[in-house]
Amino acid sequence: MSEIELLIDFHKDGERQGPGSPEETGKALALIGFEQDEYLRVADIGCGTGAQSIILAKHINGHITAIDLFPEFLEKLDQKAREIGLSDKITTQRQSMDKLQFGENELDLIWSEGAIYNIGFEAGIKYWRRFLKAGGYLAVSEISWITGSRPAELEQYWLEAYPEIDTVSNKIQALERNGYTPVAHFILPPYCWIDNYYRPMQQRFGKFLEKHGYADTVKAFIESEQKEISMYEQYKDYFSYGFYIARK
Ligand SMILES: C[S@@+](CC[C@H](N)C(=O)[O-])C[C@H]1O[C@@H](n2cnc3c(N)ncnc32)[C@H](O)[C@@H]1O
């Protein structure tokens, strides 16, 4: 199995594929404050198995188009939506976030948790803006420095993994530079990382190794995931996901 196939095979069994929580998704939605009688056209970009697509569908009057590159994740979301009776509010579509098939000025809300890094924050907010109606909202979570300075080891690790990591204030400036009015922002607390994402991953490591016959490629994959977890545990005072809400 290639690295990407391993990643899909491992993460498709997760409730979520990145840090977050139903509460923080709800908080971001409440900060926007849509009227209940407003019918909304929403895109959830890089939805994974749909942890937040489901929350959005529960709280929003409207329709969610949930986009991801990998059908394995979308199938899980379809299955969950069917089980809880939300299929009529969520349509999954395999699309790449850098070649979206929406029309210009079509969407009331673009949502994206822990995924915009795949296109790059600034390229993403710039490209996605055309699909929002005037006055439409963007709600994205993005890896961010939460202090003005940080240990060199941590800086090096993230500069190799995602050089666009930056301070909260610089992320907000990027929104301003690209035609958005910042509305609110907050930082994801540690339980979103540890309790909701990393501990469930660690609980699946053993079975995953067994399933793949303890192959070296699988051991290397688990080691790299464990390295990410250790970096977070050691340095969580310096970085997190910032949740950014802005208006076109
Ligand atoms: C860290 S996960 C976050 C998933 C989900 N939003 C969550 O919080 O559980 C990033 C997601 O982006 C998706 N992705 C990666 N590249 C993509 C692309 N070019 N277009 C659409 N989705 C992509 C991945 O398949 C994955 O589901």
* pLDDT (tens digit per residue) in 52-78: 999 999 999 999 999 999 999 999 999
> Does the beta carbon of 54 sit less than 6 angstroms from any atom of ligand 1?
no
> Does the beta carbon of 115 sit less than 6 angstroms from any atom of ligand 1?
yes
- The stretch 120-125 carries a mean pLDDT of 98
Q: What is the pTM of this model?
A: 0.97
Q: State the pLDDT at residue 46.
A: 98
What average pLDDT does the structure give for the chain?
Answer: 97
Contact indicator for 132, 209 with CB cutoff of 8 Å = no
Q: Is the pLDDT confidence value at 1 over 90? A: no
- The stretch 4-32 carries a mean pLDDT of 97
- The stretch 13-26 carries a mean pLDDT of 98
**Residue 215 placed within a domain:** no
**Residue 7 placed within a domain:** no
**Residue 200 placed within a domain:** no
**Residue 208 placed within a domain:** no
- The stretch 115-121 carries a mean pLDDT of 98
- Give distance in angstroms: CA of 185 to centre of ligand 1: 21
Kindly give the number of the ligand 1 atom that is closest to the alpha carbon of 19.
8
Q: Is 191 exposed, middle or buried (0-12, 13-18, 19+ CB in 10 A)?
A: middle
Kindly give the number of the ligand 1 atom that is closest to the alpha carbon of 17.
9
**Residue 232 placed within a domain:** no
Give residue 88's domain range. Answer: 18-151+161-191+238-247
In angstroms, the CA 78 to CA 216 distance is 33
**Residue 55 placed within a domain:** yes
Q: State the pLDDT at residue 231.
A: 96
Q: State the pLDDT at residue 153.
A: 95
In angstroms, the CA 182 to CA 55 distance is 23
- The stretch 75-82 carries a mean pLDDT of 98
Name the token pair of 64. 């969610």
**Residue 222 placed within a domain:** no
Tally of domains within the chain: 1
CA 138 to chain CA centroid, nearest Å: 13
Which residue in this structure is represented by tokens 């296109």?
Answer: 119
Name the token pair of 143. 């890896």
Contact indicator for 244, 111 with CB cutoff of 8 Å = no
**Residue 229 placed within a domain:** no
pLDDT tens digits for 157-201? 999 999 999 999 999 999 999 999 999 999 999 999 999 999 999
- Give distance in angstroms: CA of 87 to centre of ligand 1: 20
In angstroms, the CA 98 to CA 198 distance is 28
Q: Is the pLDDT confidence value at 149 over 90? A: yes
Q: State the pLDDT at residue 36.
A: 85
Question: What percentage of the chain has pLDDT greater than the value 90?
Answer: 98
Q: The CATH number of the domain where 138 resides is what?
A: 3.40.50.150
